[in-house]
A and B are shown apart, each in its own frame.
Chain A
């Protein structure tokens, strides 16, 4: 195997007098004997030190990361990690993220893995770079390296002689493969990690700065809009393109099969032309969608999809159950519902394509675009720019193909294309509808002895790169379609449809079975937690149902079945902070519920207690307060972590109380916020978060830790308040009222 220099990167980076001379993102595997030694986290697949950082003579450090800012504060957290390992002031750190020409390929920014993967890689890379720089200083100063100290990039010898990183930039070489031999600092020596450093992306967002892809303006740029089919099964029969071309400002009308789009000089002209095209377009629609509401779940369960055993554990010593329960839980299709419809800027020049995108994975996106346009990936550059919060795979990638297809028709004029609100609601890939059938038994002492979790779900990952084919929406509408090849489920241990379906509790007999519906007419993909939200909702609801059957307090019942010390600690911390009163009964209108999960059974531990109030007459549920405790290992930025958990709890409250996609047998009818209400200010719970810092433990992802437990805590609180359990999401007033009126069998 030989080393292929990354020409594109060299083209795009002006290194000047910087430390980095040539970039080589590919590992020099040719030098290694056989397989290269494993390196920590993303360093393993991006092995060169200079792929991660650059020291500049002007006194700055640039760190490169494949993980992108989603408003989760990753740029700030990574800069804290780098500043500590390098011994430089935080102000010196600049962050370059998600650029196929400049940064490491770290796949998707997803799965609450950014600090784990990129943070760990940067930590080791920066620790090693510090060693390289200190060695260079030792050589320059003529002293031994161990006697040197570093303060804000100034390396000082015992006698006071000093050399700075910025002077050494030209002589010390970071163009070398990492070894991970330099030991990162112990937590006690951290200055920045562990502090609530204010996020670097926030000031510009409140002062009208250019913060988002929507704010990019290029010379000669025109505005694009897409005209989507009215329904997933629709095909374009005819459209009056000529009339649209005659409209003021219209630069191009693009029709390719059922893909229809327009570009105009002014944005409102593009929107007007979109309306005109919509009016003249004639489509053939087909009845292709599943039945809605309760029938949807029966439909999903009736599909000929065999069950696959995900996990099975049997005990010969456990007692036979004295009492068994079974319950069916459901979750509808739910939207990411980003505040800003998806947007991209695309520019073609001399057969090369540059796009600015809020995609969570610029490298997988590039590979997909290369397939559509039959180009070499080297001729495509994808540059991340922030968008509105996405919470998973929304229209971010799809809109890039739309923009690139339109920009092909506008000559050298770049195109900024933003979806309209109805494009986003009707065409984003939803979080999958799911059915969870739980059954379990308790012995005479009220201990769980059998546990079964069977689930039905569509895919939770149809992102670019998730499978063969092309996972970009417009590709399936082209005259020569490039459809998605149904992807396999995300495997355990993190899991996809079955994420968090395996209980962390020490139950002696456990069986988890999934029916993975790989292909379905309603498009689905990753929405924060994948299957975790619904599985934890079901699992933790059912734990409470068994606890009730055992006459046990929900907190004590959980602790009784858990040996994991860290799991127990968050449960105890949440119960204590909330002032949990064992076996307290609700009063018919107010109640309290508890839930716990370790996200993916691999990431952060999170437990919480929720207080709800129910208006019995209307069925209106209000979540008054949620108290959560979280253990995510070492904490990089406490306020950032609290922000993630707070946001996760409130977002999940919205999913749980309000949200479901509406559709008939032909069309998705959710088109605006009027069709898809979300939680508003007066409905938002008070949130209190306790962090359990474990400075000597490795990072555990936190961004998706709260959603599952929040849903279950609310469900359990509602059952505690009213004595009636609701197993179908969302808990809309009508459904709650109906449930309250139902007589127990």
Chain B
């Protein structure tokens, strides 16, 4: 066991865990954040995606030691039900899911995309999300949601 200082969603916390503990379990179980999901534990599906210093990472294979002293952002910090982030609003307005289990990863990778490219083409959106799996097959709605959010964020 070792102590790690984490900066998650603007708050600083210290956790005592094994250094190799995947960040995902710290976020879900110690910080009680629901957004990042366990999908595969293999960095294959993207459901666990969070931002580390603004870059999307797979929290299921990111050791907590690597996350210490970085800025970790989860979907919880984008917006709330009352004050939605444009991406959250767009995913809701486009009804861009069925089960929604993959949705966290989609939103977080889209956030990273729009932060670096505010006006992505349809192909750029698809390429940015290509490492994310969706089994209900809401892909086209997800792409439309990202386009809608991009438009809103530009105006």
Contact = CB atoms under 8 A, between A and B. Distances in A.
Contacts of A215: 34
A662 to B, nearest CB: 16
B97 A340 contact: no
A111 interface: no
A529 to B, nearest CB: 14
Given A680-B130, A682-B126, A686-B140, A202 B95 contact: yes
Contacts of B101: 212, 338-340, 387-389
Interface of A: 70-73, 198-199, 201-212, 214-215, 217, 223, 248, 266-268, 271, 337-341, 386-389, 391, 418, 420-421, 639-640, 643-644, 646-651, 654, 672-674, 678-682, 684, 686-687
Contact of B138 (A271, A388, A643): A643
A391 B101 CA distance: 14
A204 B81 contact: yes
Given A203-B81, A266-B17, A646 B140 contact: yes
Interface stretch (B25-33, B51-59, B112-120): B25-33
A198 B92 contact: yes
A72 B95 CA distance: 11
A109 B34 CA distance: 26
Contact of A672 (B44, B78, B142): B44
Interface residues on B, range: 35 or more
Nearest to A685: B140
14 contacts: A72-B98, A198-B93, A206-B75, A207-B88, A208-B74, A212-B34, A214-B37, A267-B28, A339-B37, A651-B136, A674-B42, A678-B133, A682-B123, A684-B137
A69 to B, nearest CB: 9
Given A268-B21, A680-B130, A643 B98 contact: yes
A651 B135 contact: yes
Given A339-B37, A650-B139, 13 more contacts: A71-B99, A209-B81, A212-B34, A338-B135, A340-B47, A388-B99, A643-B95, A643-B138, A646-B140, A647-B137, A647-B138, A681-B143, A684-B126
Contact of A339 (B34, B42, B47): B47
Nearest to A386: B99
A421 B91 contact: no
A646 B88 contact: no
A673 B39 CA distance: 10
B29 A267 contact: yes
Lowest 8 A-B CB distances belong to which pairs? A71-B99, A650-B137, A389-B99, A205-B100, A71-B98, A388-B101, A208-B76, A208-B35
A208 B142 CA distance: 17
Nearest to B98: A71
Contact of B38 (A340, A391, A639, A640): A340
B12 to A, nearest CB: 19
A268 B18 contact: yes
A513 to B, nearest CB: 33
Contacts of B74: 208
B25 A339 contact: no
A78 to B, nearest CB: 16
Contact of B99 (A210, A339, A650): A339
A201 B100 CA distance: 9
Interface SS of chain A: loop
A71 B100 contact: yes
B29 A266 contact: yes
B134 interface: yes
B136 A71 contact: yes
Contacts of B32: 217
Nearest to A73: B98
A493 to B, nearest CB: 28
B122 to A, nearest CB: 10
Given A203-B81, A207-B84, A421-B42, A680 B133 contact: yes
B103 to A, nearest CB: 6
Contacts of A217: 29, 32
Contact of A388 (B130, B135, B143): B135
Contacts of B79: 207
Given A214-B38, A340-B39, A673-B40, A651 B18 contact: no
Contacts of A421: 39-42, 44
B68 interface: no
B42 to A, nearest CB: 6
Nearest to A269: B18
A643 B134 CA distance: 14
A721 to B, nearest CB: 23
Given A208-B33, A420-B41, A678-B133, A639 B95 contact: yes
A609 B93 CA distance: 28
Contacts of B139: 650, 679, 681, 684
B45 A207 contact: no
B71 to A, nearest CB: 17
A639 to B, nearest CB: 6
Residue of B38, B125, B143 with most partner-chain A CB within 10 A: B38
Nearest to B83: A207
Given A71-B99, A201-B100, A418-B38, A337 B141 contact: no
Given A204-B81, A207-B80, A389-B99, A673 B38 contact: no
B25 A268 contact: yes
A684 B97 CA distance: 15
A420 B42 CA distance: 10
Given A211-B34, A339-B99, A206 B137 contact: no
